[in-house]
């Protein structure tokens, strides 16, 4: 077993580098998610307001980020915009920005959907006791929407984390990029190393994402039990 492929992970600093890459991935995903989810809630609330112009503009924003593939967005923000507009951001920041804007777009749709599915009578009862629009959202609509939207939000989070695997395309040193380098550097010595490297990346993503998707499923079940209970 002198040349067993798994040893590629323990060669030099390979494993530490992989974890370093994972950290970059998690950092970008986490910052993008925090910014994106907050912005998404605000946009989602605005999308339930009566102003048609506002709704139209926000709808355009959503469709733009939903229809254009994430890879294209990354290229657009990394290669094209800097040239046209003279802003030069490091790859990690571009990645964070793109993912935050994308998360905000998707989140705005989730929040809007949850808000409009709160029964109309709830809104009227709130108005009948004299609540202002802001108070109506703050005390009545948003708290009820949260339990409706939580599972979809967690699914969005897992989707965003998975999609960070595209970051290597704009040369962010994320876990996939590091993995690729490790594979290439050790190809001579460990021909089957590629299996082990991608294997451990699989495990890493699984360990992060699976608990989230399990949590989402469990909450949805609980919500249904409560609703029908």
- State which residue, 83 or 121, has the beta carbon closest to other proteins: 121
Instruction: Assign residue 66 a region (left: φ > 0; alpha: ψ between -120 and 50; beta: otherwise).
Output: alpha
Is residue 117 involved in binding other proteins (CB under 8 A)?
no
Q: Report CA-CA distances (Å) from 43 to 107, 171, 180, 226, 229.
A: 8, 31, 38, 29, 33
- Spatial distance between the Cα atoms of 95 and 85, rounded to a whole number of angstroms: 17
Size of the site for other proteins (CB under 8 A): 20
Which of 116, 131, 169, 208 touches other proteins (CB under 8 A)? 131
Is residue 226 involved in binding other proteins (CB under 8 A)?
yes
Is residue 52 involved in binding other proteins (CB under 8 A)?
no
Q: Which two tokens stand for residue 92?
A: 């990690």
Nearest to 212 by CA among 3, 29, 7: 29
- State which residue, 50 or 69, has the beta carbon closest to other proteins: 50
CA angle 121, 127, 131 (to 5 degrees): 135
Cβ neighbours for 210, distance < 8 A, ≥ 6 positions apart: none
DSSP per-residue letters across 217-229: HHHHHHHHHHHH-
Tell me how far, at minimum, the Cβ of 218 lies from other proteins, in Å: 20
Is residue 126 involved in binding other proteins (CB under 8 A)?
yes
Which of 1, 16, 67, 129 touches other proteins (CB under 8 A)? 129
- State which residue, 66 or 138, has the beta carbon closest to other proteins: 138
**Is the Cβ–Cβ distance between 97 and 74 less than 8 Å?**
no
Is residue 225 involved in binding other proteins (CB under 8 A)?
no
- State which residue, 63 or 124, has the beta carbon closest to other proteins: 124
Tell me how far, at minimum, the Cβ of 49 lies from other proteins, in Å: 12
Q: Report CA-CA distances (Å) from 164 to 24, 99, 214.
A: 10, 8, 20
- State which residue, 189 or 222, has the beta carbon closest to other proteins: 222
- State which residue, 86 or 225, has the beta carbon closest to other proteins: 225
Which of 23, 64, 79, 139 touches other proteins (CB under 8 A)? 139
Is residue 51 involved in binding other proteins (CB under 8 A)?
no
- In the block, residue with structure tokens 């495990």: 203
Q: Which two tokens stand for residue 3?
A: 């040349």
Which of 2, 67, 83, 130 touches other proteins (CB under 8 A)? 130
The residues binding other proteins (CB under 8 A) are: 119, 121-122, 124-133, 135, 139-140, 143-144, 226, 229
């Amino acid at each position: 077993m002198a040349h067993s492929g798994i040893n590629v992970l323990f060669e030099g600093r390979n494993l530490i580098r992989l974890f370093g890459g994972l950290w970059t991935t998690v950092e970008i995903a986490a910052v993008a998610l925090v910014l994106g989810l907050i912005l998404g809630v605000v946009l989602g609330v605005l999308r339930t307001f009566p102003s048609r112009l506002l709704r139209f503009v926000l709808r355009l924003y959503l469709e733009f980020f939903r229809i254009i593939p994430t890879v294209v967005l990354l290229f657009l923000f990394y290669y094209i915009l800097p040239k046209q507009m003279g802003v030069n951001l490091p790859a990690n920041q571009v990645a964070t920005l793109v993912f935050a804007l994308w998360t905000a777009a998707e989140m705005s749709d989730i929040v809007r959907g949850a808000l409009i599915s709160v029964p109309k009578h709830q809104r009227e009862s709130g108005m009948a006791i004299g609540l202002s629009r802001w108070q109506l959202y703050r005390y009545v609509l948003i708290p009820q929407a949260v339990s409706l939207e939580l599972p979809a939000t967690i699914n969005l989070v897992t989707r965003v984390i998975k999609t960070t695997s595209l970051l290597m395309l704009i040369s962010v040193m994320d876990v996939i990029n590091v993995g690729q380098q490790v594979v290439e550097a050790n190809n001579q010595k460990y021909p089957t190393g590629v299996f082990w490297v991608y294997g451990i990346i699989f495990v890493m993503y699984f360990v992060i994402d699976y608990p989230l998707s399990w949590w989402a499923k469990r909450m949805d079940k609980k919500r249904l039990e409560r609703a029908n209970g």
